[in-house]
Structure 1
Amino acid sequence: MLRGAFGPGRAAGGVRDAVRLLIGRRARLRWVHLILGGALAMPYFLVGSVIIGPATGSTDVFGSFPLQLASFGVGLPIAAVSSLFPTARPLEAANARWLCGVDTDRIASGPARTWGERVRTAAWFTLHLGIGGIIAGMSLALPPFAAVLIALPAFAWLGGTRLGLPEVFDHSWALALAPVAGVASLVALAGCAAGCGALLARWAPVLLGPTPEDRLAAAEARAAELAVRNRLARELHDSVGHALSAVGLQASAARRVLDADPEFVREALAAIEETTRRTVGELDAVLGVLREGDAPGTAPAPTLAADLDGLLRRTRAGGLRVTARVEADPEALPPLLSREAYRILQEGLSNALKHAGERVAVDVCVAAADGQLEITVENPLSGTPSSRPGGGHGLRGIADRVRLLGGTAAAGPTPDRTWRLHVNLPMKGPA
């Protein structure tokens, strides 16, 4: 067991993980991000050198490492001030997403709107340029130095003094250790770059992440998108689902009485033609919303005022004996209420078509009383119910519509073996 835990395979895997951590794709991208920060820091470094030179009386700032560090330190506050502009945040956020590997939802994409967002952006920009400038300087200096150390033994025959090297390299042990020191410096550079890149990736969501207001706006946008999708799903289910159920039952009934009742067959075929024509128009209207860049379809949404009689006629053509009592004026209903009530009644009749059986009597009542529009659909549970795989979304769609309108709905069997759907919709209110 110990051999399996500490064997050659596990050791090789650990080496691969270490190499991936230091020079893997993510580490390389973060290194590029740091080098980019160093490049962005150069103009501010030059401005800092212009300030440090006269302040110290030096005419050669670049010849002194302490003065270079001072120039770099003076340039960073200038960089922080310049990043207070709103457009700095989207640019830095894009770099953090693409190069640091930070998840998109953890980084804000819009410009800074408040002073708090601007200050955090300035802190991030300063951190990016500061660490990036250090890593960029190391990336310029260490590789040539490491290359000299690695190649030094190959030129040992020339002699240390003849190469202008320190006298310590006159010793054989120093020449033997020079390549090791060169490789170690490269590993140290890769480790520093990987560590600094991971540090920036960790701080990016804190300094560039969305504020609570941004998260709330994103949640509201997502909720609005889901609401549109749910509404389209309801429309497709209620219109296309009802039409397919009705057409299937009408065709089945017409086939069975093809020779015995030609008049009924003609009515069923006419109803099939009318149903499919209307459904194609409704489908085009719904799909037009989904097509990006296309104008929505022009087919009007059906309402009680426009198509109540047609809905009842097409349902009767499917074999149901529908008795309807309309005690409300469909023309007086608000358009939204009339449209949603039509869909609710359509779904109730569709359920009767699918589950009540053939030649079953269905009672429909549409009435207005006390500021409420009442819709009732009743049918006996006796008979041979029609069945189809899937389904089960109709009552949930009715419940969604009723809830959005601020009404109530109840559906289920009654003690006298009758299925009853009863809906109350306020004629004024949340709709």
Structure 2
Amino acid sequence: MSTYLRFLFGRRARRRWLHLIIGGALAMPYVFVGQLVVGPATDSRYVFNDLPLQLLSFAVGLPLASVTSVLFPLTRPLEAGAVWWLCGIDRDRLARGPARTRAAKGRTAAWFTLHLGLGGIISGMSLAVPPFAGFLAALPLLVWLGGDELVELPDALDHTWVLALAPVAGVATLLALAACAAVAGTFLARWAPALLGPTPEDRLAAAEARAADLAVRNRLARELHDSVGHALSAVTLQASAARRVLDSDPEFVREALAAIEETTRRTVGELDAVLGVLRDGDAPGTAPAPTLAADLDGLLRRTRAGGLRVTATVGIDPEALPPVLAREAYRIVQEGLSNALKHAGERVTVRLRIEVADGHLEITVENPVADTPECRPGGGHGLRGIADRARLLGGTAQAGAARGMWRLYVRLPVKGPA
């Protein structure tokens, strides 16, 4: 019994009933237009007082509503919002944008006609049935108070048992109205995803938007990891080395502190550049991203200041590289040195080779390790970032330990996809 009452008068049922009444309100202008057509066609001056002519005007107005929904693409998002809010349909099952294709417009027109049609019927019943049900419920009292002078019943209904059943009939009429509204609301809710749901084109557009958003997130993660992560690793190693020789080698401590200052200042600038590019694109005035030609020497100097011996062999002119390749190659070298700082320990030799062979830029970073480095929980983002950069440039990346050496090898086409 409680389930049946919730179906008729529960919160969801009341919201769907309101949704139907809104549909009836939206149908009224089209009914008025239908009256302008039906009145002259039937030579009637009082269409509003004639129920059959009113129904005919309603039938004439519904096709006009269908045409309106086709002419105004925003009908679909407006209707989808009302369905989500009042009918309890999951937002992901409904389209978010205007109807653009012919199929989407056709389904929107079908939904709008269905909403206004059922809404007009339920709205009319909601206006007419409650007063009639109230009259039936009060009929015995009215007859008892005023008799035939107040209420004149037909002879066929002028019986005591009819008066006794009148309140029951009034309550049954209200329940029937609630049942009609609940069934109509459930019917609309069931058809809403089919008629207002996203088309294949909508799903493709949403997937492209999600892919673009994911690409921006991945780019932000790579840039922040490579710039800030490298800086933190370098600063940590430099501070650790300075602490160990604080009393015995003051000159090294001064160099380490100077390197820490330079590293942090530069990292703040790189962070501003990264956020500026992500926010404004490559707009004029945005700080340039570091490149192999302009910033490799500084990167090696700051790395060596932490006590790491770096042997670099650069067999190319970095300025001859395309800008995108020079920028991404710098980030790859930076991450390779950052891994060496974190895993190789202090005062080991890192061999860096940058050369061009067979039309490809080859970057190799090698450092000795006692054991294969294990990724900390949540770690490993640097190697994934290098692999992503190499893949986007049409190249390959390999990393692994063998015979006590950790080797990172990246091969990028000099003329490839940017």
Q: Same fold (TM over 0.5)?
A: yes
Q: Is the 8 A contact 1:249 1:353 kept in 2?
A: yes
1:77 maps to which residue? 63
- Residues 112-151 of structure 1: pairs in structure 2 closer than 5 A: 112-151=99-138
1:102, distance to aligned residue in structure 2 (A)? 2.8
Per-residue CA shift, 1:33-76, capped at 9, x if unaligned?
Answer: 21121112222222223332333343433333222222211222
Q: Is the 8 A contact 1:34 1:133 kept in 2?
A: yes
Per-residue CA shift, 1:338-388, capped at 9, x if unaligned?
Answer: 111111111111111111111111111111122111111111113998997
Aligned partner (choices 235, 252, 271) of residue 264 of structure 1: 252
Q: Is the 8 A contact 1:29 1:100 kept in 2?
A: yes
Does residue 394 of the first structure (1) align with residue 391 of the second (2)?
no
CA–CA distance in structure 2, aligned partners of residues 399 and 279 of structure 1: 23
Give the direction of change, closer, same or farther, for the CA distance of 1:98–1:289 in structure 2 (3 Å limit).
Answer: farther
Give the direction of change, closer, same or farther, for the CA distance of 1:212–1:53 in structure 2 (3 Å limit).
Answer: same
1:111, distance to aligned residue in structure 2 (A)? 2.9
Instruction: Judge which range, 254-263 or 382-391, deviates more.
Output: 382-391
CA–CA distance in structure 2, aligned partners of residues 25 and 91 of structure 1: 22
CA–CA distance in structure 2, aligned partners of residues 90 and 386 of structure 1: 51
Does residue 184 of the first structure (1) align with residue 172 of the second (2)?
yes
Q: Is the 8 A contact 1:371 1:426 kept in 2?
A: yes
- What SS does the aligned partner of 1:411 have? strand
Give the direction of change, closer, same or farther, for the CA distance of 1:311–1:292 in structure 2 (3 Å limit).
Answer: closer
Q: Report the residue type matching 1:342 in the other structure.
A: Y
Give the direction of change, closer, same or farther, for the CA distance of 1:324–1:386 in structure 2 (3 Å limit).
Answer: farther
1:197 maps to which residue? 185
1:171, distance to aligned residue in structure 2 (A)? 3.8
CA–CA distance in structure 2, aligned partners of residues 252 and 29 of structure 1: 66
Does residue 333 of the first structure (1) align with residue 321 of the second (2)?
yes
Q: Is the 8 A contact 2:368 2:404 kept in 1?
A: yes
CA–CA distance in structure 2, aligned partners of residues 296 and 95 of structure 1: 44
Does residue 301 of the first structure (1) align with residue 300 of the second (2)?
no
- What SS does the aligned partner of 2:71 have? coil
Does residue 95 of the first structure (1) align with residue 82 of the second (2)?
yes
Q: Report the residue type matching 2:241 in the other structure.
A: A
Give the direction of change, closer, same or farther, for the CA distance of 1:388–1:136 in structure 2 (3 Å limit).
Answer: closer
CA–CA distance in structure 2, aligned partners of residues 231 and 310 of structure 1: 24
2:44 maps to which residue? 58
CA–CA distance in structure 1, aligned partners of residues 179 and 285 of structure 2: 59
- What SS does the aligned partner of 2:29 have? helix
2:233 maps to which residue? 245
Give the direction of change, closer, same or farther, for the CA distance of 1:385–1:137 in structure 2 (3 Å limit).
Answer: closer
Q: Report the residue type matching 1:43 in the other structure.
A: P
Q: Is the 8 A contact 1:320 1:362 kept in 2?
A: yes
Instruction: Judge which range, 376-385 or 300-309, deviates more.
Output: 376-385
- Residues 330-369 of structure 1: pairs in structure 2 closer than 5 A: 330-369=318-357
Give the direction of change, closer, same or farther, for the CA distance of 1:371–1:384 in structure 2 (3 Å limit).
Answer: closer
Q: Is the 8 A contact 1:322 1:361 kept in 2?
A: yes
Instruction: Judge which range, 172-181 or 272-281, deviates more.
Output: 172-181
CA–CA distance in structure 1, aligned partners of residues 33 and 368 of structure 2: 88
Q: Is the 8 A contact 2:276 2:287 kept in 1?
A: no
Q: Report the residue type matching 1:118 in the other structure.
A: K
1:290, distance to aligned residue in structure 2 (A)? 6.6
1:206 maps to which residue? 194
CA–CA distance in structure 1, aligned partners of residues 175 and 233 of structure 2: 70
CA–CA distance in structure 2, aligned partners of residues 383 and 221 of structure 1: 43
Q: Report the residue type matching 2:336 in the other structure.
A: G
List runs of 5+ in structure 1 lacking aligned partners.
Answer: 1-13
1:304, distance to aligned residue in structure 2 (A)? 0.8
Q: Is the 8 A contact 2:277 2:286 kept in 1?
A: no
Does residue 47 of the first structure (1) align with residue 38 of the second (2)?
no
TM-score for the superposition, normalised by structure 2: 0.91
Give the direction of change, closer, same or farther, for the CA distance of 1:83–1:384 in structure 2 (3 Å limit).
Answer: closer
Q: Is the 8 A contact 1:242 1:346 kept in 2?
A: yes
Give the direction of change, closer, same or farther, for the CA distance of 1:297–1:142 in structure 2 (3 Å limit).
Answer: farther
Does residue 318 of the first structure (1) align with residue 323 of the second (2)?
no
Give the direction of change, closer, same or farther, for the CA distance of 1:96–1:142 in structure 2 (3 Å limit).
Answer: same
Instruction: Judge which range, 268-277 or 281-290, deviates more.
Output: 281-290
Does residue 31 of the first structure (1) align with residue 17 of the second (2)?
yes
1:143, distance to aligned residue in structure 2 (A)? 1.0
1:381 maps to which residue? 369
Give the direction of change, closer, same or farther, for the CA distance of 1:158–1:221 in structure 2 (3 Å limit).
Answer: same
TM-score for the superposition, normalised by structure 1: 0.89
Q: Is the 8 A contact 1:288 1:297 kept in 2?
A: no
Q: Is the 8 A contact 1:161 1:170 kept in 2?
A: no
CA–CA distance in structure 2, aligned partners of residues 301 and 355 of structure 1: 27
CA RMSD after TM alignment:
2.6
Q: Report the residue type matching 1:107 in the other structure.
A: L
Q: Is the 8 A contact 1:168 1:174 kept in 2?
A: no
Give the direction of change, closer, same or farther, for the CA distance of 1:429–1:160 in structure 2 (3 Å limit).
Answer: farther
Q: Report the residue type matching 1:99 in the other structure.
A: L
Q: Is the 8 A contact 1:251 1:269 kept in 2?
A: yes
CA–CA distance in structure 1, aligned partners of residues 119 and 105 of structure 2: 20
